[in-house]
Structure 1
Amino acid sequence: MLEVLFGGKTKESVLQYLLAKDEGYIRGIASFYETSSTVVKQQIDKLEQGGVIVGKDIGNIRMYRLNPRYPFLKELISLLERAREAYEPDLLKKLLENERVRPRRKGKPVWKK
Structure 2
Amino acid sequence: MVLDGIFGNKTASKVLIHLFHYNELHASAIAKDYGVALTPIKNQLERFEKAGVLVSKNIGKSRVYSFNPKSPFVKGLKLILEVYYNSLSINDKEILFSSRRRPRDKGKPVYGRT
Partner of 2:20: 19
Task: Return the alpha-carbon distance in structure 2 between the equivalents of residues 43 and 89 of structure 1.
Answer: 27
Tell me how large the CA RMSD over aligned residues is: 2.0
Helix, strand or coil at the partner of 2:63: strand
How has the CA–CA distance of structure 1 residues 38 and 100 changed in structure 2, closer, same or farther, with 3 Å as cutoff? same
Identity of aligned residues (%): 34
Larger RCO (CA under 8 A, 6+ residues apart): 1
TM-score normalised to the size of structure 2? 0.77
Task: Show the 5 A alignment for 1:1-113.
Answer: 1-87=2-88, 89-95=90-96, 99-100=100-101
How many matched pairs?
Answer: 101
From the CA coordinates, give the structure whose radius of gyration is larger.
1
Tell me if the contact between 2:30 and 2:41 (Cα under 8 Å) persists in the aligned partners. Answer: yes
**C-alpha deviation, 1:88, in angstroms:** 5.5
* Structure 2, gaps ≥5 residues long: 103-114
Code of the aligned partner of 1:31: K
Tell me if the contact between 1:21 and 1:98 (Cα under 8 Å) persists in the aligned partners. Answer: no
Helix, strand or coil at the partner of 1:2: helix
**C-alpha deviation, 1:89, in angstroms:** 4.2
